[in-house]
């Protein structure tokens, strides 16, 4: 860069010497004194052009170098952060949200069994008056909408009971088949259900029993989306429509990169 | 006791909606909707009836509240 700069600089000085006008005779009075430097400047103008351009060029190159280095450092940092994130996700994907429950055919199921599948999961109970059937109906609509779109991976709908006392394997089988042929009902012992619900931060509490030994179970309402790594990816509350959920699931599918 | 089937659920919801429509039409006067009330009670488990009655109260309150007609003092004296 220095060599490059020297060339035009030297030439400019040569040019300046040749073009310098003869020194005007000294004249008394302020006007003449003021005039001289002004003329002097106007003569020095053109040779300064290349010098200024060179300086600008050097500054620009230097700046670009600095900027490039900064960008490279930032990219490296970002890559490191991404690696850490992937590692954390990988650990979470394996450990988080695990469960061991019985499906509505009596087979033991744990989270790892659903690896490689997108899962939509809802917690409720079969004696639920209105919200659970509504939400399950919505969940099934989402699955059907996604099934209708070509090229999308299948989604496994799952219904987990929060009322293991009444919802045994047979009760779950009776219930789920009315919604979707692939809807899987999961139940288990009181402890197993408590553990599964805890993993997904689902609150539930059985209300008082009436003369018929009937009761309502109060519980949190959300549809959970798990990605094929088994990682909790999103959740949808009551306010979301089937269309909105299907759109969101599709976006997650498009953005999905396995960390396992 | 087995949970209601889809058919039973729909019958219950249908009876509930008819009863609620009657209450809407008669300014919540249950005496005028006795026939629909008994059909509602015959179509749903007892526990659900309690739940839907509370739910109606809540929905009415919500409607009033959202319309800006809710006055706390009034509700305290009423209840």
Question: How many Å apart are CA A192 and CA A172, to the nearest integer?
Answer: 16
Q: Are residues A240 and A117 in the same domain?
A: yes
Q: Are residues A147 and A210 in the same domain?
A: yes
Residue A31 lies in a domain: no
Chain B residues within 8 Å of chain A (Cβ atoms) = 1-6, 9, 13, 44-48, 50-52, 55
Q: Is the pLDDT of residue A257 over 60?
A: yes
Q: Inter-axis angle of helices A30-95 and A2-19, to 10 degrees?
A: 170
pLDDT in tens, chain B (79 residues): 789 999 999 999 999 999 999 999 999 899 999 999 999 999 999 999 999 999 999 999 998 888 887 776 655 555 4
Measured in degrees and rounded to the nearest 5, phi and psi for residue A71 equal -60, -40
Rg (CA), chain A: 37
Q: What is the pTM of this model?
A: 0.72
Q: Identify each DSSP E strand in chain B by its residue range.
A: none
Q: Are residues A116 and A165 in the same domain?
A: yes
Q: Are residues A74 and A135 in the same domain?
A: no
Q: Of A39, A72, A93, which residue is a domain's last?
A: A93
| pLDDT at residue A91, rounded to an integer | 75
Residue A8 lies in a domain: no
- More confident site: A235 or A21: A235
Cβ of A208 under 8 Å from any chain B Cβ? no
Average pLDDT, chain A: 84
Q: Of A43, A77, A93, which residue is a domain's last?
A: A93
Residue A110 lies in a domain: yes
| pLDDT at residue A240, rounded to an integer | 95
Q: Are residues A104 and A72 in the same domain?
A: no
Say whether A212 and B46 touch across the interface (CB within 8 A). Answer: yes
Say whether B3 and A133 touch across the interface (CB within 8 A). Answer: no
Q: Are residues A248 and A208 in the same domain?
A: yes
Residue B72 lies in a domain: no
Cβ of A174 under 8 Å from any chain B Cβ? yes
Model confidence over A80-111: pLDDT tens digits?
Answer: 998 888 787 777 666 678 899 999 999 999 99
Residue A174 lies in a domain: yes
Rounded to two decimals, the ipTM of the complex is 0.83
Q: How far is CA A35 from the centre of its chain?
A: 68
Show binding-site residues of A.
128, 132, 219
Average pLDDT over residues A220-239: 92
Q: Are residues A168 and A246 in the same domain?
A: yes
Residue B75 lies in a domain: no
* Cβ-proximal residues to A125 (8 Å cutoff; 6+ apart), any chain: A132, A161, A162, A163, A166, A167, A217, A219
Residue B70 lies in a domain: no
| pLDDT at residue B58, rounded to an integer | 93
Model confidence over A132-173: pLDDT tens digits?
Answer: 999 999 999 999 999 999 999 999 999 999 999 999 999 999
| pLDDT at residue B73, rounded to an integer | 62
Query: Any idea what DSSP says for residue A177?
Result: T
> A171 to chain B: which residues are within 8 Å by CB?
2-3
* Cβ atoms of A231 and A96 closer than 8 Å: yes
Question: Could you tell me how many CB contacts below 8 A there are between chain A and chain B?
Answer: 42
Model confidence over B22-34: pLDDT tens digits?
Answer: 999 999 899 999 9
Question: How many Å apart are CA A138 and CA A244, to the nearest integer?
Answer: 11
- Name the closest residue on chain B to residue A165, using Cα atoms: B1
Task: Give me the residue from B2, B5, B48 closest to A129, CB to CB.
Answer: B48
Residue B18 lies in a domain: yes
Q: Are residues A125 and A214 in the same domain?
A: yes
Say whether A214 and B1 touch across the interface (CB within 8 A). Answer: yes
> A126 to chain B: which residues are within 8 Å by CB?
3
Q: Are residues A165 and A189 in the same domain?
A: yes
Say whether A216 and B3 touch across the interface (CB within 8 A). Answer: no
Residue A138 lies in a domain: yes
Q: Are residues A174 and A220 in the same domain?
A: yes
Model confidence over A43-92: pLDDT tens digits?
Answer: 555 555 568 889 999 999 999 999 999 999 999 999 999 888 878 777 76
Task: Give me the residue from B5, B44, B51 closest to A216, CB to CB.
Answer: B51
For residue B39, what are its two tokens?
């059909």
Q: Are residues A127 and A240 in the same domain?
A: yes
* Cβ-proximal residues to A115 (8 Å cutoff; 6+ apart), any chain: A228, A229, A230, A260
Q: Are residues A89 and A104 in the same domain?
A: no
Residue B77 lies in a domain: no
| pLDDT at residue A95, rounded to an integer | 65
User: Residue B17's domain spans which residues?
Assistant: 10-61
Q: Which of A2-11, A179-188, A214-223 has the lowest mean pLDDT?
A: A2-11
Residue A41 lies in a domain: no
Nearest to A116 by CA among A222, A249, A231: A231
Residue B23 lies in a domain: yes
Q: Which long-range contacts (CB under 8 A, 24 or more apart) does A205-209 make?
A: A206/A163, A206/A165
Residue A71 lies in a domain: yes
Sheet containing strand A100-103, strands side by side = A108-110, A100-103, A184-187, A155-161, A118-124, A223-226, A232-236
For residue A210, what are its two tokens?
């009436």
Residue A21 Cα distances to A37, A42, A44, angstroms: 12, 11, 10
The domain tally of chain B equals 1
Any idea what the CATH number is for the domain that residue A178 is in?
3.40.30.10
Residue A33 lies in a domain: no
User: Residue A143's domain spans which residues?
Assistant: 100-255
Say whether A210 and B51 touch across the interface (CB within 8 A). Answer: no
| pLDDT at residue A30, rounded to an integer | 46
Would you put residue A201 in left (φ > 0), alpha (ψ -120 to 50) or beta? Answer: left
For residue A30, what are its two tokens?
């302020």
Q: What counts of helices (H) and strands (E) characterise chain A? A: 6, 9
The single residue listed with the structure tokens 């009971």 is A161
Model confidence over A8-55: pLDDT tens digits?
Answer: 444 444 454 454 444 444 544 444 444 444 444 445 555 555 688 899
Task: Give me the residue from A127, A129, A210 closest to B52, CB to CB.
Answer: A129
The domain tally of chain A equals 2
């Amino acid at each position: 860069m220095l060599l490059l700069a020297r060339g035009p600089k030297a030439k400019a000085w040569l040019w300046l010497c040749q073009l310098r006008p003869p020194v005007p005779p000294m004249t008394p009075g302020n006007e003449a004194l003021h005039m001289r430097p002004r003329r002097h400047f106007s003569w020095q103008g053109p040779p300064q052009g290349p010098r200024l351009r060179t300086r600008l060029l050097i500054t620009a190159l230097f700046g670009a170098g600095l900027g490039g280095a900064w960008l490279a450092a930032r990219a490296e940092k970002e890559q490191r952060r991404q690696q850490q994130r992937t590692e954390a996700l990988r650990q979470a994907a394996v450990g988080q949200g695990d469960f061991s429950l019985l499906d509505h055919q009596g087979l033991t199921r744990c989270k790892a069994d659903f690896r490689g599948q997108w899962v939509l999961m809802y917690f409720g109970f079969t004696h639920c008056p209105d919200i659970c059937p509504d939400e399950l109906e919505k969940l099934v609509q989402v699955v059907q909408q996604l099934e209708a779109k070509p090229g999308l991976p299948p989604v496994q709908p799952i219904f987990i009971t929060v009322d293991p006392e009444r919802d045994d394997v047979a009760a779950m089988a009776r219930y789920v088949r009315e919604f979707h042929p692939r809807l899987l009902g999961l139940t288990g012992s009181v402890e197993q259900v408590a553990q599964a619900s805890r993993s997904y931060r689902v609150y539930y509490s059985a209300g008082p029993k009436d003369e018929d030994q009937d009761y309502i179970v109060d519980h949190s309402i959300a549809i959970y989306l798990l990605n094929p790594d088994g990682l909790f990816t999103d959740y949808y509350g009551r306010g979301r429509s089937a269309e909105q959920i299907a759109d969101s699931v599709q976006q997650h599918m498009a953005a999905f990169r396995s960390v396992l | 006791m087995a949970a209601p089937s889809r058919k039973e659920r729909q019958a219950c919801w249908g009876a509930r909606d008819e009863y609620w429509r009657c209450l809407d039409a008669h300014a919540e006067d249950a005496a005028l909707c006795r026939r629909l009330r008994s059909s509602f009670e015959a179509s749903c488990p007892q526990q659900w009836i309690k739940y839907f009655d509370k739910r109606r109260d809540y929905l009415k309150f919500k409607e009033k509240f959202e319309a800006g007609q809710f006055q706390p003092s009034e509700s305290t004296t009423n209840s």
